Amino acid sequence: MMKKNVFLLIVTLLLTGCGDTDNKQNKSFAMSSLSSSTITAVIDSLTVKAPAADIELLKRGVNHCATFWTPTDGTDDEFTAFCMANFAATPEAKAQLFAKLQTNLEILYGNYNKINVDLKVPLHVTGSELTDIDMRFGALDPFAHFFDDMFASKIAFVTLLNFPFYTLEEKNTLGNSWTRAEWAYARLGDLYTARIPAHVSQALAQVSSEADNYISAYNIIMGNLRSEADEQLFADNMALISHWGLRDELKSNYSQGVKGHEKQRIIYEVIKHIVLQDIPQQVINDTTCLWKPISNKIYHGTEEIAAVPEPDTRYKMLYNIYRATIDVDAYSPIYSTYLQRAFDQQMEVSAEDIVKMFTDFITSGQVKQVAQLIETRLGRPLEPFDIWYDGFKSRSTLNEDDLSQLTRRRYPTVAGYEASLPSQLMQLGFSRQKAAEICAKVKVDPSRGAGHAWGALMKSDKARLRTRVAANGMDYKGYNIATHEFGHNVEQTISLNDVDNYVMNGVPSTAFTEALAFVFQKRDLSLLGYNAVSDEAVALQALDIFWGCYEIMGVALVDIRTWQWLYEHPNATVSELKATIIKNATDIWNIYYAPIFGEDNSPVLGIYSHMIDIPLYLPNYPYGHIVEFQLEQQIAGKNLGDEILRIYPVGRLTPNLWMQHAVGSDVSVTPLLNATQQAIDQFNSKH
């Protein structure tokens, strides 16, 4: 489930920008009305007023400020007067201005974020039945007027003038020699790369909220599924959210023998129906109809009834986000497409580099070797759903029902789980004092959806951990998700409260908070008392991360290719978008996966929910796994708590510079590929 690195998320929503595709839908961005002679004259005048100032920074600041100056902001003379009055001419004046700006940004972002979280409580947290007014408040965007207010008050222009923007390439080349203050100044320069009107921001917030609600409420009642032999395979009270619950249930059945294999095939059919949108509307969140997914027939009792396919609702949600997003493009001169905003701005890695990294990985020679190893372990040929093979995890040999009995006893309520968090951190190597300090900043809530983590944006607020807790306690799935989300909360808390400058809070991108969440999630069994570290366990860990990357990289490529297609086809319809996603999913499957799994045209890569409600977030997962593996290698043999406290307070550098601080090298797939090959050789030598 999505985990929010909230500072990055808010900046992205507010400032939206960056990609590798020309924006064919973009309206002409004609914001500035200033003449070039006025801009030149301002630069000349400021050079005289501040002879000690860095001339290149001065020019950059004036030009960046001028980019967003419209006739409503004033005349050329008023622009000149503004720059002369507001340029910080000395290092001392600039430092004082910076301190005041970031203090007030924490007040604004922190309280806006808290309002946003509180308004969405009915949508995200279990409680009373959702009503229309809950949905309306949940869709409100407290940040919608941020740009209007910042530009109208000219606070944005003061920032633009004194703290100019640096491109990703410049940050990577210059950042190694920057001081912490220079890094913070550069991050302040990232804040205004767009000028989005409130009505445009609110429209995007509205459709995003609708998509999130659609995904969060999309459950399949598993006890109502039937095999073709009319056999009930799943428990009566099992309701699984798409796609996370379905996927995790499929994973849990690898240790269940023939019956587990039959369940997996049924779940795979459900997944295909969801992607193809021929799933009967009557079986979504419905307890009255019985459904045979293989033949796609539904029944009331023993009587077959006509199945009515769900309309293209799934793809309509994504289409609505696309239409709202291209309206944002028109006000984003620096990052003018959503592709650019997702990669160059949010991930701070180009789309070309991500596609190359992922493609190189999924075509590596290790894929076929790991697939053969899985076939040997399963004792059968691979099937498409084995893309989620879970047998390399230490829990794969454990009975999930037994694990759920343990977690239900240990965590009967949300409050019980929250109370356990400090002891969990101490088990992971944190001191009692630091564990208490971090956990005092985390609040646990019962989730309507699969679960998520939502960080605070001011030091006086708390991060939120949401996970599912049933009336009879937290089952193992809920516990496993909660452990992942707790990793996010730990990152969110440390990188907000322990970083030196507020505008540096967070991590380079959501991939880096995902990495720590994966590190925590991998230790869920050790937190329950299952401790087994061996050479074989280390090898299994490498194989597990490798196979997980192989799966999610293909999904991410579908996501990327779909958005490239959208920008190439700005007048596409919902039905054309649906057909394109299915085609992209099957095309990528046929190229990179069918030769391994032996089945053509599987649409399984199109199932991921984030493709619908948080598009282009998916590349963060495999990128995060790559970071995770490098972190695990760094952490090996060391105190985990100490390493986390060393690494994460560095804040929001660019990815490679952050990794150089963390592990001494750039982000790279090479360590994982090498470790995977060693693991393969190790297992082959024994069997």
CB count within 10 Å of CB 47 equals 13
* Average pLDDT in the chain: 91
* pLDDT for 449: 76
pLDDT, one tens digit per residue, over 138-196 is 888 888 788 889 999 999 999 999 999 999 999 999 999 999 999 999 999 999 999 98
Edge-to-edge strands, sheet with 442-446: 442-446, 463-467, 451-454
Place of tokens 């006893």: 409
Amino acid type, 503: V
Q: Supply the pTM of this predicted model.
A: 0.83
Q: What are the tokens at 580?
A: 């394109």
For residues 209-246, one letter each, b for 16 or more C-beta atoms within 10 angstroms of the residue's C-beta and e for the rest, the string is bbbbbbbbebbbbbbbbbeeeeeebbeeeebbbbbbbb
Q: What is the pLDDT of residues 408-447, one digit of tens each?
A: 999 999 999 999 999 999 999 999 999 999 999 999 999 8
Tens of pLDDT along 362-374? Answer: 999 999 999 999 9
Structure tokens at 310: 């769900």
Contacts of 229-235 with CB under 8 Å at 24 or more apart are: 230/292, 233/259, 233/262, 233/263, 233/266, 234/263
pLDDT of residue 467: 87
Nearest to 505 by CA among 14, 110, 57: 110
Tell me how far the alpha carbon of residue 440 is from its chain's centroid.
25
237 has pLDDT over 80? yes
At 552, is the pLDDT very low, low, confident or very high (cuts 50, 70, 90)? very high
CA atoms of 221 and 239, how far apart (whole Å): 4
C-beta of residue 16 within 8 angstroms of C-beta of residue 26:
no
The answer to whether residues 647 and 585 touch, using CB atoms and an 8 Å cutoff, is no
Backbone φ and ψ of 141, nearest 5°: -110, 105
Look at residue 8 and tell me whether its pLDDT is greater than 80.
no
In one-letter notation, the amino acid at residue 516 is L
Sequence ranges of the domains in the chain: 32-67+69-191, 215-314, 341-393+532-686, 397-527
pLDDT at 349 over 90: yes
The whole-angstrom separation of Cα 132 and Cα 127 is: 15
Note the helical H segments in 569-609. 574-592, 594-597
Report, as an integer, the average pLDDT of 519-547: 87
Contacting residues for 381 by C-beta, under 8 A, at least 6 apart? 375, 598
Angle at 589 between CA 584 and CA 593, to 5 degrees: 160
**Which band of pLDDT confidence, cut at 50, 70 and 90, is reported for residue 31?**
low
pLDDT, tens digit, 9 for 90 and up, residues 294-344: 999 999 989 999 999 999 999 999 999 999 999 999 999 999 999 999 999
- Rounded to an integer, what is the distance from CA 172 to the centroid of its chain? 23
